[in-house]
Amino acid sequence: MDIAIVAFNGVDELDAVGPYEVFANAADEGVDLAVTLCTLDDAPTVTASHGLTFEAQGRLDDRDPDLLVVPGGQWNARGETGAWAEAERGVLPARVRDLHDAGVTVAGVCTGGMLLARAGVTDGRPATTHRGALDDLRASGATVVDARVVDDGDVVTAGGVTSGIDLALYLVEREFGASVADAVASRMEYERRGETYVSDQ
């Protein structure tokens, strides 16, 4: 399974790195999985919302993943970086839409769910996001669900900054089984939290 996590200036550090660590640990458990931190452009580094800089491992335009994870960050700041800025710029939502239309499963972490909403992939579907953006998600046409992780098949969302870890563990369990997810959670000494809503699809 090929997983791409897309990063951008202003991304929340934990939104991106939390799922990355879960998936990398799952690969260490022996499952057929590769995870890559990607950007949309040729910038060698990303500066995240709290000032951490890190290198991208590839470009999203060059990848055709099985799963795309879209983090959030700085949505409510309405600034020049972060999820709101990416939504307004439109390039990332367009890429999300194209990949989803091509059959890629998309997952939004925290206000990354708003980038999925801007892409139109949550219209009329159950979803969640950070509590500070729930009104925006509702206004976008999504059906807001009060759950930590919301699984609607090829669209999965999670609400809250640390929810990326829960989302990734859930996806590891969904794709590779509970024993692998439990082993990863144990390795990370992480107690999974919150409810998961799974739609009938």
Q: Is-catalytic flag, 110?
A: yes
Contacts of 101 (CB under 8 A, 6+ apart): none
168 dihedral zone (left: phi>0; alpha: psi -120 to 50; beta): alpha
Q: Which among 110, 114, 147, 183 is annotated as catalytic?
A: 110
Say if residues 113 and 131 touch (Cβ distance below 8 Å). no
pLDDT, position 63: 84
pLDDT, position 41: 83
Give the angle 111-116-118 at the CA atoms, nearest 5°.
Answer: 95
pLDDT, tens digit, 9 for 90 and up, residues 53-91: 999 999 998 888 999 999 999 999 999 999 999 999 999
Say if residues 145 and 127 touch (Cβ distance below 8 Å). yes
Give the domain range for residue 175: 2-198
DSSP strand pairing (45-47 vs 53-55) = antiparallel
pTM of the model: 0.98
Beta bridge mates, 53: 47
In the Cβ-directed half-sphere of 63, how many Cα atoms lie within 13 Å? Answer: 26
CATH number at residue 46: 3.40.50.880
pLDDT, tens digit, 9 for 90 and up, residues 104-154: 999 999 999 999 999 999 999 999 999 999 999 999 999 999 999 999 999
In this structure, the chain runs to a length of 201
Alpha carbons 114 and 19: distance in angstroms, whole number = 18
The number of folded domains in the chain is 1
